[in-house]
Amino acid sequence: MYFADSIKRTHFMVNTEIITNPDGSIYHLSLHPEDIAKIIITVGDPDRVAMVSKYFDKVTLKKQNREFVTHTGELQGKQLTVLSTGIGTDNIDIVLNELDILAKFDLQKLEITNPDYQLEVIRIGTSGTIHSDIPVDSFLASEFAIGLDGLLLYYLTNEHKIEKELYSHFMSFCELHLKLPMRPYIASADRQLMQEFGSKMAKGITVTCPGFYGPQGRQINAKIFQENYLNSLRAFSFHDRRITNFEMETAGIYGLARELGHKSLSCNAILANRATGEFSKEPQKTIDKLITEVLTVIINR
């Protein structure tokens, strides 16, 4: 794995690369290695952490630093961690890297002790679809993610063959129909997690955006770069797959998880339909239902 190998190959000032707090915890998450489980559920909203952990049989740890709220506990014998990331892939860069450090490093010696340790990162998030036939309050598992946020462009990546094919096909499509303001990247879900958690959900290609308004085609007072942005994305297809929804974290999770050697899956509660103009009348109920469905799969594995 690139990150672990680079630590072994390169001599650098580790105090500026792996930063810890006075209590020995990792800098932003304020966690110790023993604070996290192998299964990590990520949510964007810090208030949503308690919506997940309320189903645990017991909660053994509660910590908060900035927007990063962490609860670790147990559900029917399974150790689980639920962690809020906040909004956007800039936070995902912090969360995924620091989770990887917690999983693999001795923070006192700043040495890798578990280079092959593999986390399972499952996002429970909210999203808006761009197609009229995907109903509000339904669930969607992101098979692929197209990153329009730029995060993975700062890393050396090892794309799968199908990711390279999707990238080539998308770029050819963009040359004809869509003027992108930046270079995208492609990342995909872990196949095993997709089979386990996504079997009863719709599947699609998710677009991860660096913002909620213009980057997702919302034009209010500021004009967006291309007025037919949404219609262009609706027309895209790849091996009978289509772009289905917008959100702001999935591509970063998929791409970094892949490069760091972890498994990941993004499960989306569809709260808005951009084609029909409909928004969920009971968004909290829909999110809670998705939480229970994900937890049910975990305890029945």
Q: What is the pLDDT of residues 103-121, one digit of tens each?
A: 999 988 888 999 999 999 9
pLDDT at 69 over 90: yes
pLDDT of residue 181: 82
Spatial distance between the Cα atoms of 220 and 115, rounded to a whole number of angstroms: 48
Average pLDDT over residues 248-258: 98
pLDDT of residue 282: 97
Domain containing 11: what range? 2-299
pLDDT of residue 14: 66
Average pLDDT over residues 21-43: 97
The helix or strand, by DSSP H or E, that contains position 213, with its residue range, turns out to be none
Spatial distance between the Cα atoms of 265 and 167, rounded to a whole number of angstroms: 19
As a whole number of Å, the CA-based R_g of the chain is 19
pLDDT at 43 over 90: yes
pLDDT of residue 1: 36
Average pLDDT over residues 162-170: 96
Spatial distance between the Cα atoms of 188 and 209, rounded to a whole number of angstroms: 16
Chain position carrying tokens 């927007």:
67
DSSP 103-159: HHEETTTTEES-TT---EEEEEEEEEES-TTS-TT-EEEEEEEEE-S-GGGGS----
pLDDT at 292 over 80: yes
Give the CATH number, domain containing residue 24: 3.40.50.1580
Spatial distance between the Cα atoms of 222 and 187, rounded to a whole number of angstroms: 30
Average pLDDT over residues 206-223: 95
Percentage of residues in the chain having pLDDT higher than 90: 88
What amino acid is encoded at 103 in this protein?
A
Residue from 107, 97, 84, 110 nearest 25 by CA: 107
Where does the pLDDT of residue 192 fall: very low under 50, low under 70, confident under 90, or very high at 90 and above?
Answer: very high
Average pLDDT over residues 135-143: 98
End-to-end CA gap in the chain: 27
pLDDT at 8 over 50: no
pLDDT of residue 4: 42
The partner residues of 83 in beta bridges, in order of sequence, read: 42, 70
Spatial distance between the Cα atoms of 146 and 157, rounded to a whole number of angstroms: 14
Taking only the tens place, the pLDDT of each residue in 72-96 is 999 999 999 999 999 999 999 999 9
Number of domains in the chain: 1
What amino acid is encoded at 214 in this protein?
G
Strand 111-112 relative to strand 278-279, pairing: unpaired
Q: What value does the mean pLDDT of the chain take?
A: 93
